[in-house]
Amino acid sequence: MDLSMSAYERCELCPRRCGAQRLSGKAGICCATSSLRIARSALHFWEEPPISGEKGSGAIFFTGCPLRCVFCQNHEISQQGFGIEVTTERLSQMMLELEGQGALNINLVTPLHYAPHVVEAVGMAREAGLGIPIVCNTSGYELPELVAALDGLVDIWLTDFKYASPELAGRLSGAPDYPQMALASLTEMLRSLRKAGGRAADPDGDDGLPGRMTRGIIVRHLVLPGQTADSCAALDKVWELCGNEVDLSVMNQYTPNELCRTRGGELARSVTEEEYETVLNHADELGFERMWWQQGGTVSESFVPAFDATGVLAPSES
């Protein structure tokens, strides 16, 4: 797959294959042109324990997203376009700065509609001495051939598996092919992980936290109100494909955004304890051994960082 800057000429970097002439300044369905835009670059402490640990993950949030999730908590950057235009060189410098701040890894959040920039920036950072893992934090809505093209560049896939139902995926994210594409991309992530030798992590620390993951896959699933049957079906698909070769993260942090509150219906409320327990019990019955879950009090917009361009500009520019 072509991951040079010419890929933006007629963009087919995601399953939308919208053909936008991004190199000419036309935005794709992801809302991005070929101008690289970043909303935040900072230590992030709210990921799963093997990713954040106590020191934090070096999270870089990219502007835009190929999905159109009606419940998106990051809509300010995913759909409304907030972000500052930067060069590829500046992106590579952010990675090195985060490593210097003690980050356990570089956590690229929804980055692959900028895949040509990402590949070039990671290469620059590695040449300059970057020595920590690269995490690709994705919605799961990716082309398997793009995942394959990143073999050897991404160390950890932190990927969603949102839906089992095409109808639900179409209604809530505008992507009825989401289950098909998420399964195909996860298949490729698993192939790449097996090729590299499987999951790897540092030894557990004295603080009781699990050791930092250095290679692997964490599959995330956000439980939605009123959708426990689809949640269980989604976990069935992950288990059938991956078994215990992946970590599973089942999240209860769904928080209705303004759009969902205005529209009403089930998405206007949070997930009940009973709904969350139903999905957790199903995951346990399937046999997942490395499973992360969230305890009470996680339904809060505090899980959404401030998108204020922190860390984006070079120190001399800020």
For 61-74, write each residue's pLDDT tens digit.
999 999 999 999 88
The single residue listed with the structure tokens 């980055």 is 111
Q: Is 127 a member of any domain?
A: yes
Q: Is 44 a member of any domain?
A: yes
Domain that holds residue 201: 27-303
Count how many domains the chain has. Answer: 1
The pLDDT tens digits of the residues spanning 163-207 come to 999 999 999 999 999 999 999 999 999 999 999 999 999 998 766
For residues 183 and 170, what is the distance between their CA atoms, to the nearest angstrom? Answer: 16
For residue 43, the cross-strand partners are: 58
164 or 306, higher pLDDT: 164
Packing angle between helix 88-100 and helix 115-127, nearest 10 degrees?
A: 50
Q: Is the pTM of this model over 0.85?
A: yes
Q: Is 14 a member of any domain?
A: no
Secondary structure letter of residue 266 according to DSSP: G
Dihedral sign for Cα 239, 138, 142, 135, please: negative
Per-residue pLDDT, 301: 47
Non-local (6+) Cβ contacts of 301 within 8 A are 73, 255
Dihedral sign for Cα 93, 313, 13, 108, please: positive
pLDDT band at 39 (very low <50, low <70, confident <90, very high): very high
Q: Is 308 a member of any domain?
A: no
Mean pLDDT over all residues of the chain?
94
Q: Is 214 a member of any domain?
A: yes
Q: Is 203 a member of any domain?
A: yes
pLDDT band at 81 (very low <50, low <70, confident <90, very high): confident
Could you tell me the CATH number of the domain that includes residue 61? 3.20.20.70
Q: Is 261 a member of any domain?
A: yes
Q: Is 123 a member of any domain?
A: yes
